[in-house]
Amino acid sequence: MNTGFIGLGIMGKHMATNLLNAGYSLKVYDINTESVKLLESRGAVAATSVAQIAEECDIIITMLPNSPHVINVVLEDGGIIHHAKPGTLVVDMSSIAPDASKRMDAALREKGIHMIDAPVSGGEPKAEDGTLAIMVGGEQSDFDRAVPLFDILGSSALLVGPIGSGNTCKLTNQMIVALNIAALAEGLFLAEKAGADPEKVFNAIKGGLAGSTVMDAKAPMMLAGNYTPGFKIDLHIKDLNNALDTAQASGMPIPLTASVMQLLQAVKLDGHGQSDHSALAAFYEKIGGISIHS
């Protein structure tokens, strides 16, 4: 089975590396030639175009920034739809709008090409160690074809519904993560302002009901003032934009998500767009006039 991988950014380069380490023969493509060279040095075969990947691969993984990028790779001139043979499976692991997944699937199915949407959660650390949570939308038979890949890339993979459901699930995840990070920052800064030690507060509450994977990952970063990106503010804004668009189309109010979106936008305007989303703490640092890190 020939496998292709398109998109070798922060997440994709680790995911592709894990497939190579597991013994997969992998053809890779990215507009960033340095990323392609890196994967080539690890044993991948460099492709010169999306068309080459489509023509030569039976399963194609895409891991790209947002809906327009995936649509371009899948549907536009030189895209997968114009070069893949019937029976090819496209596994889009990008985090995009559910309606975009549905649009691409409908077009691909007319050509006999299959697709599932399979966005992931866990950020760069879990992409690197192969323990991503994978949320999948599509047909059971297509999911089953991709399971051997998912077993390498993640610690869990669940088919949650028809095409688009994976991305709906991911948007739900991103909403909850954003709200958790904002609440965590707000609480730690309140502790500081009220005269308690934020680090001791964190250690006291992390084993209780407020404790979470988000708290364990992001509180130490906030307390250290370390906003080195595992998942960037800009990308979280992109995800919440997709969530708000989906909510509007569905007629579902999501006021808490809308509020956190404003916090993210404020932090971005202060120069933190490329920082980790734990940099939401910088908003509270600014409005509170205090710091929780040394």
With a CB cutoff of 8 Å and minimum separation 6, the contacts of 237 are 261, 264, 265, 268, 273
Task: Return the amino acid letter for 2.
Answer: N
Q: Which CATH superfamily is domain 3-162 in?
A: NAD(P)-binding Rossmann-like Domain (3.40.50.720)
Going by pLDDT thresholds of 50, 70 and 90, the confidence category of residue 210 is very high
Q: Of the residues 170, 218, 232, 238, which is catalytic?
A: 170
Q: Which residues are 28's β-sheet partners? A: 5, 46
170 is catalytic: yes
Q: List the Cα angle 160/164/165 in 5-degree steps.
A: 20
Q: Is the pLDDT of residue 1 over 90?
A: no
For the chain, domain boundaries: 3-162, 169-288
| Residue 201 pLDDT | 98
Q: How far apart are CA 56 and CA 88, in angstroms?
A: 10
- Give start and end residues of each alpha helix (H) in 194-268: 198-205, 213-224, 233-250, 255-267
pLDDT at 124: 87
Query: How many C-beta neighbours within 10 Å does residue 149 have?
Result: 25
Percent of the chain whose pLDDT exceeds 90: 96
DSSP codes of every residue in 44-113: PEEPSSHHHHHHH-SEEEE--SSHHHHHHHHHSTTSGGGTPPTT-EEEE-S---HHHHHHHHHHHHTTT-
**What does pLDDT average to over the chain?**
96
Per-residue model confidence (pLDDT) at position 69 = 96
pLDDT at 294 over 80: no
pLDDT reported for residue 122: 86
The one-letter amino acid at 110: E
The confidence score (pLDDT) of residue 125 equals: 87
CB 149 within 8 A of CB 59: yes
Average pLDDT over residues 252-280: 97
pLDDT digits 0-9 by tens, 140-175: 999 999 999 999 999 999 999 999 999 999 999 999
Give yes or no for residue 188 having a pLDDT over 90.
yes
User: Regarding the domain with residue range 169-288, which homologous superfamily does it belong to in the CATH classification?
Assistant: N-(1-d-carboxylethyl)-l-norvaline Dehydrogenase; domain 2 (1.10.1040.10)
Given this model, what pLDDT does residue 231 score?
87
Q: What is the pTM of this model?
A: 0.90
31-74 pLDDT per residue, tens = 999 999 999 999 999 999 999 999 999 999 999 999 999 999 99
pLDDT (mean) for 87-115: 97
Interval 64-92 mean pLDDT: 97
Summarize the confidence of residues 97-126 as an average pLDDT.
Answer: 95
Nearest 5°: the CA angle 152, 64, 35 is: 75
Whether the CB-CB separation of 179 and 260 falls below 8 Å is answered with: yes
